[in-house]
Amino acid sequence: MSFPILSVMLLVPALAAVGCLFLSPGGARWLALAATLVDLLLGVLLWVGFDNAGAQWQYQEYSPVFGRFAWALGIDGIALMLIMLSVFLMPICIAASWDAIEKRVPEYMAAFLLMETLMIGVFAAQDMFLFYIMFEAGLIPMYLIIGIWGGAERIYASYKFFLYTLLGSVVMLVAMLWMVREAGTSSIPELMAYDFPPQAQTWLFLAFFASFAVKMPMWPVHTWLPDAHVQAPTAGSVILAGVLLKMGGYGFIRFSLPMFPEASAQLFWLVMGLSMVAVVYASLVALVQSDMKKLIAYSSVAHMAFVTIGLFAFNRQGLEGSVMMMLSHGLISGALFLCVGVIYDRLHTREIARYGGLADIMPKYALFFLLFTMGSVGLPGTAGFIGEFLSLIGAYRANSWVAFVCTTGIILGAAYMLYLYARVVYGKVKSDEVAAMPDLSARELALVVPLALAVLWMGIYPESFLAPMRRDIGLLVARVERAYPQGDAHLMARVGAPAAAAPAAHGTEH
Amino acid sequence: MGAALLLTLPELILSLTSLALLMVAAYAGDRSVRMVSILSVAALVAAAFAALLPPTGYGIAFGGLYRADAFSAFAKLLIYVAAGVSIVIAPAFFHRAPGQGGTLRAEYPILILLSTIGTGMMVSAGDMLTLYVGLELQSLASYVLASFMRRDLRSAESGLKYFVLGALASGILLYGISLVYGFTGTTQYDGIAVAFREGLSTGQLFGLVFVFAGLAFKIAAVPFHMWTPDVYEGAPTPVTAFFATAQKVGAVALLLRVAVEAMGSASDAWMQIVIFSALASTILGGVAAIGQSNIKRLLAYSSINNVGFALFGLVPGDANGVSSVLTYLAVYIVMTLGSFLCILRMRDAEGRPVEEISALSGLSRLRPGLAAALAIFMFSLAGIPPLFGFWPKFLVFDALVAIGMWPLAMVGIATSVIGAYYYLKIVKTMYFDEPATPFGASPDRVEGGLIAVGALIVSPLGYLLIGPLGAYSLAAARALFPG
């Protein structure tokens, strides 16, 4: 048996979390940083060792210690990318909390490390019930993070977060129990190849949808997100936006699409309809926010809707676009929350109106904030562009109206992000307090520079990120193809042939 | 006869010990309480071994009146463990309780033993009469235990309430038994099962309904739950722990045996009763707990809520379902005993017990270890993975899904979200609120050790127990399904 790298990646933060509880605040900080850096290093090894042309599932581990389900781990390219996102963001989160968190530091670090274990566990689990346990367990540390270290309304926000997501997930559990009974296995790869009866698929799909749509979050079950984001400490928001929301998208791509292709096609308009509303509505709501974090939270709702339209476009561009969107949103929204955190630490307010003229006082800050704003807008050359563009191409091939409505989201996105940037960074300095704000410290620079580099890397050379998952997306496309909904916008190979009779026009060439 | 007596070895050990200790207590007085407690626990350990490893193997004794099988062994093990813990934790509590003269009376461990014998008889009963005798022995000892702090008004009230309502329930049960006897001509489970197989007459149906109503009272399932909050609140905390664990296990196991062995052929008739009671218990147990400010009352509603979930496992009426209930009980007593142990540590500077939930405010900063343990128990009772409390809920709903009752599973599992709210409230009080008056020191190492063991079992490490626990509970459940 080879080195169980995934188990080690799970174990390192888990043990460090226990260790943190017995240390002084300073020791806990260093231990947490060390553990997350070790995990980042392991993650890099994971990526380096990942064979893009090799087996679909790599680094597999299997140990039937739990009787009814197994400790089964393994990753494909999609999971690899999301694990990379998690381990990349974690050290940044720890460092971002270095000075900002003053009370109960050991517990804080322990909660974050536990969170890291569970996030990696969600993406690496190859057993359905192991996945569920990891997926659900994340509620506990996040509940504590929001509730203990959050803002004024933290208790309401923590309850809302917990109960909302719990209700979504328990319904999914019943569906999982049924599926495992029906298919006779709880192994995710085997279930992905199992054909459930189409009439059952609809129910199963809806049960999973209840959980993933809340987690995603999709309109109209998104309302927990602005509350949770606004109240959570900065690093909590980064993890929430950066990784936790991706669990919903990952769930769709791992469960809903390959396990219930017929139902996914059947409920095409449900998902697309909700996504279209989310893009336009959330963008408009974002436009009128006066609280920076709330604005970014609503922008997350809009951006995650791009993920769902890409997923349910059922074609390669759409699926690749949605995974890229998840990765880029993870980096960019995480970075934006960090940027908000930086000035929040100085002025202790998130009111946009209190700021202004930061370009003069904090030029370095203004530069990085601009980069991330542009990334969020989807400027070519940044990570945001790749995801949005591919998702929209995919959506266009599935249905041109969906693409039309969602493209307005790009314009609205530019509107609210640029409006935010203009109010905060340009204009006149409003008060002496603002004028006295120091520019980015060395620690803060160390936080934003890696994020900026990653955003540019993903924007300029997305192939590095697309290559590991190309085969997996291809397999997924092949899996869902039988239920492929007929799009209304194809290239006509033979002029004159009726569109419905031209299946060759929507092949899988890239 | 000798072989039959050997089968009842656990009961023999406990009976002889309790009678002998009663003499000791009568002559030596309360000074002997320490020795009596130690001997009682030793007797429980011996009885547990006798139940697990019967010298003559499992079998049926006294012409079908008494059964020793894997099922009764499993249930008795849980009962004896819970009873042992209830004895061990008592002296420290009574030592501090006001108006107790500082010592525990020597009758306490003996009463617990007597009640335990009755509980053991209930789960081993193969005949309605053995059932009734066991139940009465258990109940009579319990009424005394509930009012054990006789100078405390609430304790006396608790005992009286328990007695009046318990007598009513016994009456209902006895009436049901007499109807069943009248319409089937037998009180033996086997005979009843044969008679029920030929279709249920109206009289038999009435008998069945009354038997289930009487048993629902004993397990505190809605709509027969009203006594629980008052009794749990008023009774001394170690006694409450005993009621909520040992007796609950006994009553639920008894219900399983009656439902499956005696009335298994009429499962269509009782399934509706069980479904209603399960749903009503989970919903009421969840909703009514939200407004509570006393933690013992809250745990009373929590026990109603948990019984509801356990009952879901009975609905399928198959070995799979019964084994899920047994697993539920095993994990439930660990979580509940753990919670009560944490409550025992809630006491003010003079050592008087505190029961207000608000007193837990900010406990995580004053006593991080205790707060973490209680938080683990609360999240576990709420059934949130990765804590072990998730697993029995998983099994119960899996048993429902296995027979195609997924809509019921969906509704049942949704009610668990209601329950999650009030468990979260405790965690919120401990972790999010500002610290209140600190609790007095608690030097008792045994309590602390038991809390640590309990917390470890319900922590994610507990999942390693799934294999043995599953195999053992399934073997126990199979004992109810011959052939």
Q: Is the pLDDT of residue A205 over 70?
A: yes
Is the pTM higher than 0.80? The answer reads: yes
Q: Is the pLDDT of residue A259 over 70?
A: yes
Q: Confidence band (pLDDT; 50, 70, 90) for A494?
A: low
- B-chain residues within 8 Å CB-CB of A163? 417, 420-421, 424
In this complex, is the C-beta atom of A117 within 8 Å of any C-beta atom belonging to chain B?
no
Is the distance from CB of A376 to CB of A361 less than 8 angstroms?
no
In this complex, is the C-beta atom of A137 within 8 Å of any C-beta atom belonging to chain B?
yes
Cα B75 to Cα B343: distance, rounded to the nearest angstrom: 25
Is residue A336 a part of any domain in this protein? yes
pLDDT at site B29: 82
Is residue A50 a part of any domain in this protein? no
pLDDT at site A457: 92
Q: Which site among A68, A105, A196, A208 would you substitute to test the B interface, given the most B Cβ atoms closer than 10 Å to its Cβ?
A: A68
Q: Confidence band (pLDDT; 50, 70, 90) for A491?
A: low
Residue A3 CB-density burial (10 A; 0-12 exposed, 13-18 middle, 19+ buried): exposed
Is residue A444 a part of any domain in this protein? yes
Residue B293 belongs to domain spanning: 2-478
What does the pLDDT look like over A413-437, one tens digit per residue? 899 999 989 888 888 887 888 788 8
Is the distance from CB of B239 to CB of B335 less than 8 angstroms?
no
In this complex, is the C-beta atom of B365 within 8 Å of any C-beta atom belonging to chain A?
yes
DSSP string, B122-148: HHHB-BHHHHHHHHHHHHHHHHHHHT-
pLDDT at site B141: 93
Is residue B336 a part of any domain in this protein? yes
- B-chain residues within 8 Å CB-CB of A21? 368
**SS3 at position B61:** strand
Query: H helices of B32-152, where?
Result: 33-52, 70-88, 90-96, 107-124, 128-146
Q: Is the pLDDT of residue A507 over 80?
A: no
Is the distance from CB of B342 to CB of B374 less than 8 angstroms?
yes
Q: Between A and B, how many residue pairs show a Cβ–Cβ distance under 8 A?
A: 90
Interface of B with A in 204-233 (CB under 8 A): none
Instruction: Retrieve residue A69's tokens.
Output: 């389900």
Whether residue B365 and residue A143 make contact (CB cut-off 8 A), yes or no, is: no
- B-chain residues within 8 Å CB-CB of A67? 466-467, 470-471
**SS3 at position B447:** helix
> What separation in angstroms does the CA of B28 have from each of A85, A446, B90, B146?
71, 75, 19, 24
DSSP string, A120-138: HHHHHB-BHHHHHHHHHHT
Mean pLDDT of successive 10-residue segments in chain B (483 residues)? 83 94 88 89 94 85 89 94 92 73 80 94 92 93 89 88 92 94 91 88 91 91 89 91 93 93 87 92 90 90 92 90 93 93 83 83 85 91 89 92 88 87 88 81 79 90 89 91 76
The helix (H) or strand (E) run that includes residue A250 is: helix A245-251
pLDDT at site B120: 93
B301-320 exposure pattern, b = at least 16 Cβ within 10 A, e = fewer: bbbbbbbbbbbbbbbbbbbb
Is residue A19 a part of any domain in this protein? no
- Alpha-carbon dihedral sign for residues A241, A243, A244, A245: positive
Instruction: Retrieve residue B337's tokens.
Output: 């005993």
Percent of residues, chain A, with pLDDT higher than 90: 26
Cα A74 to Cα A90: distance, rounded to the nearest angstrom: 21
Q: How many CB atoms neighbour CB A130 within 10 A?
A: 24
Cα A191 to Cα A181: distance, rounded to the nearest angstrom: 11
Is the distance from CB of A171 to CB of A210 less than 8 angstroms?
yes
Residue B349 CB-density burial (10 A; 0-12 exposed, 13-18 middle, 19+ buried): exposed
Residue with tokens 């020791």: A27
Is the distance from CB of A111 to CB of A138 less than 8 angstroms?
no
- The CA-based angle A87-A212-B280, given to 5 degrees, is 125
pLDDT at site B45: 95
Q: How many domains does chain A have?
A: 1
Is residue A64 a part of any domain in this protein? no
Instruction: Retrieve residue A268's tokens.
Output: 């095409």
Q: Is the pLDDT of residue A190 over 70?
A: yes
Cα A220 to Cα A207: distance, rounded to the nearest angstrom: 16
Q: How many CB atoms neighbour CB B34 within 10 A?
A: 14
pLDDT at site B395: 92
Task: Give A137 to chain B, closest Cα distance, Å.
Answer: 5
Instruction: Retrieve residue B244's tokens.
Output: 């909520």
Q: How many domains does chain B have?
A: 1
Q: Which site among A20, A23, A63, A170 would you substitute to test the B interface, given the most B Cβ atoms closer than 10 Å to its Cβ?
A: A170
- A-chain residues within 8 Å CB-CB of B422? none
pLDDT at site A493: 54
**SS3 at position B60:** strand
Is residue A171 a part of any domain in this protein? no
Q: Which residues are CB-neighbours of A55 under 8 A, at least 6 positions away?
A: none
Question: How far is C-alpha A409 from the chain's CA centre?
Answer: 19
Is residue A493 a part of any domain in this protein? no
Cα A471 to Cα A54: distance, rounded to the nearest angstrom: 9
Smallest Cβ–Cβ distance between B385 and the set A136, A158, A171 belongs to A136
Whether residue B431 and residue A174 make contact (CB cut-off 8 A), yes or no, is: no
In this complex, is the C-beta atom of B409 within 8 Å of any C-beta atom belonging to chain A?
yes
Is residue B483 a part of any domain in this protein? no
The overall longest dimension of chain A from CA atoms, in Å, is 76
- The CA-based angle B260-B264-B268, given to 5 degrees, is 125
CA nearest A146: which of A225, A52, A42, A51? A225
Residue with tokens 């192994």: A187
DSSP string, B347-392: B-TT--B--BGGGGTTHHHH-HHHHHHHHHHHHHHTT-TTSTTHHH
Residue A463 CB-density burial (10 A; 0-12 exposed, 13-18 middle, 19+ buried): exposed
Cα B41 to Cα B37: distance, rounded to the nearest angstrom: 6
Q: Which site among A115, A177, A186, A206 would you substitute to test the B interface, given the most B Cβ atoms closer than 10 Å to its Cβ?
A: A177
In this complex, is the C-beta atom of A181 within 8 Å of any C-beta atom belonging to chain B?
yes
Residue A291 DSSP symbol? B
Whether residue A170 and residue B379 make contact (CB cut-off 8 A), yes or no, is: no
Residue A469 belongs to domain spanning: 271-485
Instruction: Retrieve residue B314's tokens.
Output: 């009975």
Q: Which residues are CB-neighbours of A390 under 8 A, at least 6 positions away?
A: A310, A317, A318, A320, A321, A322, A324, A325
Residue B80 CB-density burial (10 A; 0-12 exposed, 13-18 middle, 19+ buried): buried
Please give the mean pLDDT across all residues of chain A. 86
A6-42 exposure pattern, b = at least 16 Cβ within 10 A, e = fewer: beebbebbbebbebbeebeeeebbebbbebbbbbbeb
Q: Report the residue of chain A nearest B369, measured CA to CA.
A: A21
First to last CA, chain B: 27
Interface pTM, i.e. ipTM: 0.90
Strands B66-68 vs B59-61: parallel, antiparallel or unpaired? antiparallel
Whether residue A174 and residue B397 make contact (CB cut-off 8 A), yes or no, is: yes
Please state the rounded mean pLDDT for residues A8-26. 90
Is residue A125 a part of any domain in this protein? no
In this complex, is the C-beta atom of B476 within 8 Å of any C-beta atom belonging to chain A?
no
Q: Confidence band (pLDDT; 50, 70, 90) for A499?
A: very low
- A-chain residues within 8 Å CB-CB of B432? 147-148, 154-155, 158
Task: Give B78 to chain A, closest Cα distance, Å.
Answer: 22
Whether residue B384 and residue A137 make contact (CB cut-off 8 A), yes or no, is: yes
* Helices and strands in chain B, H and E counts: 22, 2
